[in-house]
Structure 1
């Protein structure tokens, strides 16, 4: 990651991608305290520079950070990230895309953990088999 930073700069998309990849590795290793600052910094850079159009890379970062927050029981911090992620997924992929539905399910689980069962039920994606 240092080489990429030195060669391409702090705000280059490859630098941010590497930061997110390292954070995701930390998440897999259950090292949430180390993943969180990397994801926060990545998200800040993506939002400020609109790197990659703020599209899919930002979604990956937001989803990872929301997952870290849920694991740390920081549910209040996770909720706005999931809501924004759902809105972006709907905009980019549509209401019935598997990624959109997955995020809606994550939000329903979050609401359930917060004791908001009515919102959890209302927020669950509805899937019909034809």
Structure 2
């Protein structure tokens, strides 16, 4: 809170470093369970980044993804899905389909789909995330390991237990 106040005083309320400080405070609020305060700050950061940096700047995409995470944490899964869908489309176009941030956007949307009971859509996205991570990042990268675990969770949900166990065994190894 003090860093944000200092940034606002010294740099101004809409300076990119001030917006980063506001985003960091929102993350801290979210981790502390202060979801409403986190969401309000993230909405502010997103609005300012859209105006200052543009709708499709990578920092704006990140702000939109962070707001979607707040929606998810608050149980507003359909709102999260709407934002995550936009983040994924913009990430694919701005960063490219093979960028790690695009993989993260796809994985976040898969998680929201799963929570909304859209298991087939979640599984398809998780399979793609895993394939992309393996090809781009390698089989032992932490994001690839997470992608395997997430796909295993989807496999359990649809009763494909042996496949899930095989993926988890590979992660453990």
TM bucket, shorter chain: 0.7 to 0.9
Who is 2:45 aligned against? 42
**Cα deviation per residue 1:82-125 (whole Å; 9 max; x = unaligned)?**
11211222123321222212221221121121122232233334
Question: Counterparts of 1:50 and 1:82 in 2: how far apart (Å)?
Answer: 19
Q: Conserved in 1, the CA contact under 8 Å of 2:42 and 2:63?
A: yes
Structure number with greater CO (CA < 8 Å, separation at least 6) is: 1
Q: 1:1-130 maps to which residues of 2 (within 5 A)?
A: 1-50=4-53, 54-126=56-128, 127=131
Deviation at 1:74, TM superposition (A): 0.5
Instruction: Give the structure with higher Rg (CA).
Output: 2
How many residues were matched structurally?
A: 129
Question: Counterparts of 1:99 and 1:82 in 2: how far apart (Å)?
Answer: 12
Q: Conserved in 2, the CA contact under 8 Å of 1:104 and 1:125?
A: no
Over the residues paired in the alignment, what is the CA RMSD in angstroms? 2.1
The TM-score, its normalising length taken from structure 2, stands at 0.66
The TM-score, its normalising length taken from structure 1, stands at 0.84
Further displaced range: 84-93 or 10-19: 84-93
Q: Conserved in 2, the CA contact under 8 Å of 1:27 and 1:68?
A: yes
Q: Conserved in 1, the CA contact under 8 Å of 2:23 and 2:42?
A: yes
* Unaligned stretches of 5+ residues in structure 1: none
